[in-house]
Amino acid sequence: QSALTQPASVSGSPGQSITISCTGTSSDVGGHDSVSWYQQYPDSAPQVIVYDVYKRPSGVSNRFSGSKSGNTASLTISGLLPDDECHYYCCSYTSTSTWVFGGGTKLTVL
Amino acid sequence: QLVQSGAEVKKPGAAVKVSCEVSGYKFTDYFMHWVRQSPGKGPEWMGLIDPEEGETIFAEKFQGRVTLIADTSADTVHMELNSLAGEDTAMYYCALGGATLMDGFDIWGQGTMVTVSS
């Protein structure tokens, strides 16, 4: 199972919106609505910010939103804050009942 | 809450066992996943176990090299990885899944650092 494809880095200014893509295949992202997004700060475990493509756990800001089209899932962060600067990872269920992560995207808030 | 065992240093070729003790929910109700993260790299899903049935599913990369065991008497899942090599140096996490295989994992242990070095 190959890792999902994410851009290595994205950047934006405070207050702007950015979108991170996550491209897989019809066997993972395109075939299931079990796509999650994780936020990870240095020396901390990943924390889920979106699950089941677009759902947000309680306590997660509505500035984070998820969507999916075909084999590509997307995470949009609106109203960028300096504190949003960290790594973001997508993760998808697959048709072999396994899970696969994306390679990760480093968000820089300029 | 998921509490993992402490850091380990192992020699190449050895095996390592990492434990994950759960509290605050019924141990057998949810799948438990294992994820590792090498320094400077993204997370990598290793496998999962159904603590009630003991059934496991592994990523192809880890088939035959990793074992997951659920100890229902201690509400603990053990992960054993054998034939260690330098590339296995990583932080290993247990992560709580849902009641079905398609449910993601939203609560993670604190992580266990495994260092493989001669």
Could you report the per-residue pLDDT of A54-77, keeping only the tens digit for each? 999 999 999 999 999 999 999 999
Q: Which residues on B lie below 8 Å from A99 (Cβ)? A: 33, 45, 48, 104
Q: pLDDT value at position A78?
A: 97
Residue B99's pLDDT band, with cuts at 50, 70 and 90, is confident
A32 three-state secondary structure: coil
Distance CA B81, CA A62 (A): 39
Distance CA A38, CA B75 (A): 26
Phi (first) and psi of residue A78, to 5 degrees = -105, 160
> Is 90 exceeded by the pLDDT of residue A106?
yes
Distance, CA of B64 to chain centre: 15
Among A1, A36, A45, select the one facing B60 at the smallest CB separation. A1
CB contact under 8 A, A99 and B45: yes
Share of chain B above pLDDT 70, in %: 100
| pLDDT per position as a tens digit, B31-74 | 999 999 999 999 999 999 999 999 999 999 999 999 999 999 99
CA distance B85 to chain A (A): 21
Q: pLDDT value at position A2?
A: 80
